[in-house]
Amino acid sequence: MPLKPNNRRSFFKSAGLSTAAMLISTPMIKPKNLEAKSKNKAKPSIGVSTYSYWGFRRKEFRPIVKCLDLAAEQGFDGVEILQVQMEDFTPRYLQNLKKHAFLNGLDLMGLSTHQDFVDPDPYKRRHNVEQTIFYIKQANELGIPTIRINTGRWNTSKNFDHLMENRGIEPVLEGYTEDQGYEWVIDSIGKLVGEAEKAGVILGLENHWGLGLTPEGVLRIVNAINSPWLKVTLDTGNFLEKPYERLKKLADKTVLLQAKTYYGGGRWYTLDLDYDKISEIMDDVNYKGWISLEFEGKEDPVLGCQKSLSLLRKAFS
């Protein structure tokens, strides 16, 4: 028998109260795998520097398009371009690189550049500033979000091999002080952050040789300039002593992690780096950025890069 209108209202009202009461009294049941899923981290993006194939000496890998093809075949997610490896700087060349990367399913995620601000000559420092602005514009043309920059060094070593024999340490130029060197670098990079902001390109100061040899030196510069457009390009292979302790000091300011490997033995030195430990260091600061392989071993670079990718995938997965 159908319910009368008033009875229907009473029925639904009482049913609604009963349902609410059930919801209040019944504990929420969480999916069994919810907690496990929350602990899973996203698959990291791992790229490779074109330097890993070319290494300043392997002519067959000098063309960047060749490196892009190899990176795609080997399963890398992106490529960091070594700027001095470019064979041209025309808009047509840059746009062809961008197109070639896109068709290979690769992101162009970094541009590794060189400059030297540790020089008493203001005209030479100004030239390096202008050159770096040119690099910032190149990165913008390529759609690259960050460029690696260096402090430069005193150049009192005979050559780079001599510098490596001395573990990256060289004496200050006669007649000058280390503090003056930092002043030159801070002043020069300070002129770049505005250009970086306009182009939407983050500067990453690398823990490289020269005044970037120590984490304290890098932080002295980054903290003095204090700009969101200046971060750190963290190289795992440039701290020859106490690497993990020193990497920790820069981890929270890192915009790009360059991961060194040395299959076949390194050209100047070999580090036995624990990438599980490095992964934990970066996890502790919630690093979500790119990992860029810089292969420096004597082994065939194609084979060395493939081994390195497997190593990094396992450590950072």
pLDDT, tens digit, for every residue of 142-195? 999 999 999 999 999 988 888 888 888 899 999 999 999 999 999 999 999 999
For residue 30, being part of any structural domain is answered with: no
Question: Residue-wise over 19-37: b if at least 16 C-beta within 10 A, else e?
Answer: eeeeeeeeeeeeeeeeeee
pLDDT at 133 over 80: yes
- What does the mean pLDDT of the chain come to? 90
Could you give the CA distance from residue 168 to residue 154 in angstroms, rounded to a whole number? 11
pLDDT of 44 reads 84
pLDDT band of residue 9 (cuts 50, 70, 90) is: very low
Q: pTM for the complete prediction?
A: 0.86
Q: Does residue 7 sit within a domain?
A: no
The reported pLDDT for the residue numbered 225 is: 98
Residue 293, beta-bridge partner list: 48, 259
Which of 40-44, 111-115, 182-186, 271-275 shows the lowest per-residue confidence on average (mean pLDDT)?
40-44
pLDDT in tens, 72-98: 999 999 999 999 999 999 999 999 999
Residue 19 lies in a domain: no
Name the nearest CA neighbour of 51 among 206, 213, 280.
206
Domain count within the chain: 1
The answer to whether residue 28 sits within a structural domain is: no
18 part of a folded domain: no
Element holding 112 (H helix, E strand): strand 107-112
pLDDT at 17: 42
Q: Is the confidence at residue 254, as pLDDT, over 60? A: yes
Burial degree of 179 (CB within 10 A; 0-12, 13-18, 19+): exposed
CATH of the domain at 238: 3.20.20.150
Domain with 239 in it: 44-316
Half-sphere exposure of 227 (CA within 13 A, CB side): 19
Mean pLDDT of 198-207: 98
Q: Does residue 17 lie in a domain region?
A: no
And the tokens for 250? 């820069």
Per-residue pLDDT band at 30 (split at 50, 70, 90): very low
**What per-residue confidence (pLDDT) applies to 229?**
98
The verdict on residue 218 lying in a domain is yes
pLDDT at 41: 59
Range 46-66 average pLDDT: 96
- Residue 59, in any domain of the structure: yes
